[in-house]
Amino acid sequence: MYKDYSKYQTSDFLTDDYFVESMLRPDNQSEVFWKKLIDNQQVDVNEFISAYMMLKSLHKNKPDVPDERVDIIWGKIIRSINSKQKRKNRYRIVRYMAIACSIAGIVVFYLLNTSKPIQNQSILDYANERNIHTKDLSDKIQLLADDQKVDVDGVEAELEYHSDGSLKINKHSRIEKKVDESKNSIVEKKHKVTKYNELRVPYGKRAFLTLSDGTMIWVNTGTTVIYPVVFTDEVREIFVDGEIYADIFHDKSRPFIIKTNQVDVKVLGTVLNLTAYRDDSNTNVVLVSGLVDVKPRNGKSTIIHPNQMMSYSDQATTLTTVNVEHFTSWKDGVYMFKNEPIEKILLRLARYYNVTMKLPQNPSGISCSGKLELKDDLTQLLNGLSEITSLNFGVNNNEYKISFAGK
């Protein structure tokens, strides 16, 4: 919101869609937004309170408010007040305290006049707190659940969640408790607080993940996926840093949203490939079937149809028609490409096999078409490429030094 509310009167607030919506159906963002305006004296408090009181008189149903929720909100307000006291005279302090009390009343009103459950931490905020980086990944596939870490041996792993919250890893039961009895979902009265699981797949490894709603996800190398054990909200959300191929279970009443560092991908029932590595400058969404709406964090939505790819980089969006096999074949252990720069092919192989490749600074100008069996030994693949190009390579301690004859 960038609207100027400094001159708003009561009638203006009551005809403002955002004010009314955020009073009746508040969330963390709107709570912070209004508190910030009042803290910075960018709104007439008397008019604001007057509008709030008029709305209050129209809403009588008042479910119980958890005391700990009020304590948290009040604590935030008190800390904000304390940080300013030294710079204000006595009159200003008293006035600020009155405003703070009004804020507390408004926040309590938020909670009293809506049947919405306690606000969970958003999955994007959670991911940002985790500060995921591929360099921090273990050499093993890892599942982080409820402050516990499970290492999965092998190059590939299969994780299957059921609707009751139980989990099988590589066909073996891992979590037997039902979701409402386990620590993965805390149930208090009618309020649920969702906790997230985090699947980390390092370079050189892959995983297959079935979510509790039946959505199937092939997780490529160097990828982290964050998701709830059971989808309890009206919207199903996951976070991805890396590359996935996903077959989204169709549920018209609960849209499925894949969040990344740059874009949100909203679907109902769709098969797609998403590439969104934190270390890459661009994000690609390739649609196999269905329909998706891709919205950059700071930009307009783009509707994608089957056989189209949306690329987002440097706040610019491009939409092209593609052969989807070239972007999805990796899940079957095959890398297909057409007229692709050999440097891009080599870097993709380095990521897939978890090795380091040192390339010449100047582009070779060589492009290739074909396919590679990713289950083959990397040296075997590079020997194959050297037969059809001027590529030469040497290996030292898992580091591949690449050169091109005549370059």
The tens digit of pLDDT for each residue in 107-128 reads 444 433 443 344 467 888 888 8
Higher model confidence: residue 317 or residue 112? 317
Residue-wise pLDDT for 172-205, tens only, equals: 655 544 444 343 333 333 335 567 899 999 999 9
Residue 169 is assigned to a structural domain of this protein: yes
- How many angstroms separate the most distant Cα atoms in the chain? 83
The share of the chain scoring above pLDDT 70, in percent, equals 75
Find out whether 52 and 106 touch, Cβ atoms under 8 Å: yes
Q: How far is 391 from 395, CA to CA, in rounded Å? A: 13
Q: 3-state DSSP call for residue 91?
A: helix
Q: How far is 205 from 154, CA to CA, in rounded Å? A: 8
User: DSSP readout, 116-130?
Assistant: PPPPPPPHHHHHHHH
Is the predicted pLDDT of residue 54 greater than 90, yes or no? no
Of 304, 325, 346, which closes a domain?
325
Residue 137: the pLDDT is 66
Same domain, 338 and 316: no
Same domain, 74 and 151: no
Same domain, 141 and 66: no
Same domain, 87 and 233: no
Same domain, 215 and 282: yes
Tell me what percent of the chain is helix, strand and coil, each rounded to the nearest 5: 30, 35, 35
Helix axes 90-112, 67-82, angle to 10 degrees: 160
Is the predicted pLDDT of residue 61 greater than 90, yes or no? no
Same domain, 256 and 392: no
Q: How far is 100 from 405, CA to CA, in rounded Å? A: 72
Residue 5 is assigned to a structural domain of this protein: no
Q: 3-state DSSP call for residue 180?
A: coil
Same domain, 237 and 319: yes
Q: How far is 156 from 174, CA to CA, in rounded Å? A: 17
Same domain, 104 and 36: yes
Higher model confidence: residue 239 or residue 18? 239
Average pLDDT for the chain: 78
Q: How far is 78 from 91, CA to CA, in rounded Å? A: 17
H or E element: which one contains 373?
A: strand 367-373
Residue 3 is assigned to a structural domain of this protein: no
**Any idea how long the chain is?**
407
Q: 3-state DSSP call for residue 307?
A: coil
Residue 407: the pLDDT is 61
Q: What is the CATH number of the domain that holds 217?
A: 2.60.120.1440
Same domain, 260 and 143: yes
Residue-wise pLDDT for 341-370, tens only, equals: 999 999 999 989 989 999 998 888 999 999
Residue 59 is assigned to a structural domain of this protein: yes
Is the predicted pLDDT of residue 6 greater than 70, yes or no? yes
Q: What is the CATH number of the domain that holds 339?
A: 3.55.50.30
Of 83, 112, 141, which closes a domain?
112
> How many distinct structural domains can be found in the chain?
3
108: containing domain: 10-112
Residue 62: the pLDDT is 42
Same domain, 26 and 133: no
Same domain, 96 and 234: no
Residue 135: the pLDDT is 54
Q: How far is 260 from 276, CA to CA, in rounded Å? A: 7
